[in-house]
Amino acid sequence: MLFIAISAVFAGTVFGDSSVTSLYSSVTHGEGTYYGENGGGGHCSLNAPIVANAQGLLHVAINSDQYDGSKTCGMCVEITGHGEGLGASPIDGTMLAFVNNECPSCAYGDLDLAESGDGRWEIEWTAVECPTSGNLVYKMVGSSLWYQKIQIRNSAYPIKSVAIIQGGSPKMLERTPDNHFTSAGSAVQAPIELPMELEITDVFGRIVRDTIDELVMDVEIEGSSNFDGSSDSTSAAPETTSSVDSSTEATTSDSTSVSSSTTSATPATTTTTTTTTTAAPTAASTYGSCAGLWDQCGGIGYNGPTDCCDAPGATCVYGGDYWSNCQPTDNPDSNCQKLWEQCGGVNWTGSTCCQIGVCTYDNDWYYQCRPENK
**pLDDT of amino acid 262:** 29
Question: In this predicted model, what pLDDT tens digit does every residue of 339-374 receive, in sequence order?
Answer: 878 888 888 899 999 888 888 887 777 788 877 653
- Answer for the pair 52, 132: CB distance below 8 angstroms, yes or no: yes
Q: Is the pLDDT of residue 319 over 80?
A: no
Model pLDDT for residues 288-314, shown as the tens digit of each residue: 688 877 778 888 888 889 998 877 788
Percent of all residues in the chain with a pLDDT value above 90, rounded to a whole number: 47
Dump pLDDT digits (tens) for 47-67: 765 666 677 789 999 999 999
What's the pLDDT score for residue 53?
Answer: 61
The set of residues, in sequence order, having a beta carbon less than 8 Å from that of 305 and lying 6+ positions away, is: 285, 287, 288, 289, 290, 291, 297
Q: Is the pLDDT of residue 327 over 90?
A: no
CB contact at 8 A, 329 and 338: no
Closest CA to 153 of 56, 51, 8: 51
Most confidently predicted of 53-57, 75-79, 283-287: 75-79
| Rounded average pLDDT over 163-185 | 95
Per-residue model confidence as pLDDT tens digits over 204-237? 999 999 999 999 988 899 998 898 643 333 344 4
Average pLDDT, the chain: 79
Q: Does the pLDDT at position 10 exceed 80?
A: no
The two beta strands, 92-103 and 76-86, are: antiparallel
- The pTM of the full predicted model, rounded to 2 decimals, is 0.65
